């Protein structure tokens, strides 16, 4: 019933049948956050995207070694090779040690991930804990002729690499176009070419985060970190490398070049990238100053928010869009996600209370097949969610006695809803959600009584219930299937 899993490969630009290099073992590496501030909504999307992948691979009985790194050094301002280290800058502004900043925001990130019900990776390496591995890798790239040293810094020689390999294979960029569109400023940069990138940087006298190396005291370039850590824990070649679309160039492009220059092989068999979350069509990010932190979302303390939204609402909001599509943020979209999620939770409670029938009017196996087909089609979570909502209609129809399922099929449907809604999509009811569920069930009970009164043509009671609920701030809408309600 599970079928074959097809995943989109950014490298080949097509969906491919997933076949691990070493079945049933799967190597998964995902670029984690740079920890110099609170995690924002943009950080939640890759975390939830690859949590969905991780959960589904585990469900398919793969043995997954999931590595997600923490960047705590070497990531300079504007993702460039010049400027101040992002972590060090935050430490200077707050008058703390850089590693105090790292620990504070790593702890905060972990708390946010727990609230979002994101499973922890099996290994979470830090860049600062793998300096030796990075230095050894730089030494090998130098020895192979694909890098050069200048004044204590080491740069990757893109021109030399491009004589034999394709720099731009992942992003589709063409080096000749980069050359034509880049103005060289003689004497203002120690790199031979503007498109070369740092493997190791010499630390100036004010740079706190520094380590000894064969080229003098310095720190690693941003790109070399992931190459060194992924190869240490997953080997020279592994199954899936993931991250946000904003990392595709230059970060992941540089990772490929470094690995090929080091041992002659591309590091990952498949590259997966989630798309961006936007606000009014513009990418959300710290560098643009238009981000909303997860804590602001959970507390409601932001000018764009009308209220606080639960972590599960945020998770559901992200899962409602396919991971490769852009997702535009708005307060209204979060409110819609909140209502939709509660409908699913409420429906599951209804499902658990249903009694078996002597007939079956719903094809449970077809429902199961469609759910698996959605996931197997490149983790199509919105299609899976649409299938679950089809189940919602059935549950209410069964509650009214219009449809039914025999005992074995009913139990299978309960198990399938549990599997897809909670185990794979990773959604869960919190205490607050359970309390809301009781409240919503009471409203449903009252409206069921109203529906029965209408059926018996007791319009006085029916109108009385509607009028009293309206006074309390409820909006009641009669539908062909019964009713819908919202609370102002």
| DSSP per-residue string spanning 207-241 | --S-B--TTSSEEE-HHHHHHHHHHHHH-SSEEEE
Per-residue confidence (pLDDT) for residue 184, from 0 to 100: 54
Query: Which pLDDT score, from 0 to 100, does residue 206 have?
Result: 87
What pLDDT sits at residue 188? 47
In this predicted structure, what is the pLDDT of residue 185?
46
Tally of CB atoms within 10 A around 259: 23
Provide Rg for the chain, Cα atoms: 27
Beta strand residue intervals within 312-451, DSSP E: 327-329
Q: With residue 483 as reference, give the H or E element that holds it.
A: strand 482-487
Annotate 84-106 with b (16+ C-beta within 10 A) or e (fewer).
ebbbbbbbeeeeeebbebbebbb
Question: How far is the C-alpha of 75 from the C-alpha of 32, rounded, in Å?
Answer: 12
Alpha carbon separation from 339 to 138, 217, 336, 344 (Å, rounded): 52, 55, 5, 9
Burial 334-371 (b: 16+ CB within 10 A, else e): bbebbebbbebbbbbbbbeebeebeebebebeebbeeb
What length is written for the chain? 488
What the block records as the tokens of 141 is 């790239």
Look up residue 429 and give its two tokens: 């009811």
* 99-104 CB contacts, 8 Å cutoff, 24+ apart: 99/72, 99/128, 101/35, 101/36, 102/35, 102/70, 102/72, 102/126, 102/128
Lay out the sheet containing 218-220: strands in order across. 147-150, 153-156, 197-202, 218-220
Q: What is the DSSP letter of 30?
A: E
- Walking along the chain (488 residues) 10 residues at a time, the average pLDDT comes out as 93 97 97 94 96 98 98 90 92 94 96 98 97 98 98 97 96 80 58 95 93 97 97 98 96 97 97 92 66 92 91 98 96 95 94 90 94 98 97 87 91 96 94 56 81 83 85 76 66
Which residues contact residue 20 at a Cβ distance below 8 angstroms, ignoring those fewer than 6 apart?
A: 26, 27, 62, 239
Report yes or no on whether pTM surpasses 0.75: yes
Q: What is the pLDDT of residue 186?
A: 45
Nearest CA to 220 out of 126, 157, 135 is that of: 135
In this structure, what token pair is assigned to residue 382? Answer: 């919105």
């Amino acid at each position: 019933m599970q079928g074959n899993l097809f995943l989109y490969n950014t490298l080949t630009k097509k969906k491919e049948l997933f076949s691990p290099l070493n079945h049933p073992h799967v190597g998964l590496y995902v670029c984690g956050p740079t920890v110099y501030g609170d995690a924002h909504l943009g950080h939640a999307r890759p975390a939830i995207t690859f949590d969905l992948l991780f959960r589904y691979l585990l469900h398919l009985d793969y043995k997954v070694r999931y590595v997600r790194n923490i960047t705590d050094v070497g990531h300079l301002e504007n993702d460039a090779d010049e400027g101040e280290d992002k972590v060090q800058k935050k430490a200077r502004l707050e008058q703390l040690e850089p590693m105090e900043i790292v620990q504070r925001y790593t702890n905060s990130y972990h708390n946010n991930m727990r609230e979002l019900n994101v499973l922890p990776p099996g290994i979470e390496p830090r860049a600062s804990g793998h300096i030796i591995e990075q230095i050894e890798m730089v030494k090998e790239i130098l020895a192979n002729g694909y890098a050069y040293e200048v004044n204590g810094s080491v740069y990757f020689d893109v021109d030399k690499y491009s004589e034999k390999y394709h720099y731009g294979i992942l992003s589709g960029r063409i080096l000749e176009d980069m050359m034509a569109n880049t103005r060289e400023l003689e004497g203002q940069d120690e790199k031979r070419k503007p498109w070369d990138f740092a493997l190791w940087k010499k630390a100036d006298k004010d740079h706190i985060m520094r380590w000894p190396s064969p080229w003098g005291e310095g720190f690693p370039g941003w790109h070399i970190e992931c190459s060194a850590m992924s190869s240490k824990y997953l080997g020279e070649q592994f199954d899936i490398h993931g991250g946000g679309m904003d990392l595709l160039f230059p970060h992941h492009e540089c990772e490929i070049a470094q690995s090929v220059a080091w041992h002659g092989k591309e590091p990952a068999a498949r590259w997966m990238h989630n798309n961006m979350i936007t606000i009014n069509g513009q990418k959300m990010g710290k560098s643009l100053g238009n981000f909303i932190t997860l804590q602001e979302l959970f507390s409601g303390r932001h000018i764009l928010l009308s209220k606080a939204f639960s972590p599960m609402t945020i998770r559901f909001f992200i899962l409602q869009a396919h991971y490769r599509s852009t997702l535009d943020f708005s307060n209204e979209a979060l409110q819609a996600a909140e209502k939709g999620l509660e409908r699913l939770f409420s429906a599951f409670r209804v499902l658990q209370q249903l009694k078996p029938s002597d007939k079956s009017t719903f094809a449970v196996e077809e429902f199961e097949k469609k759910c698996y087909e959605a996931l197997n089609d490149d983790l199509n979570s919105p299609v899976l969610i649409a299938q679950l909502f089809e189940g919602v209609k059935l549950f209410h129809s069964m509650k009214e006695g219009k449809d039914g399922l025999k005992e074995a099929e009913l139990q299978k449907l309960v198990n399938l809803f549990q599997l897809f809604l909670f185990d794979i999509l990773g959604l869960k009811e919190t205490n607050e959600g359970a309390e809301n569920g009781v409240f919503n069930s009471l409203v449903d009970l009252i409206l069921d009584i109203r529906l029965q009164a209408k059926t018996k043509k007791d319009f006085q009671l029916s109108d009385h219930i509607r009028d009293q609920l309206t006074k309390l701030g409820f909006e009641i809408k009669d539908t062909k299937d019964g009713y819908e309600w919202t609370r102002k």
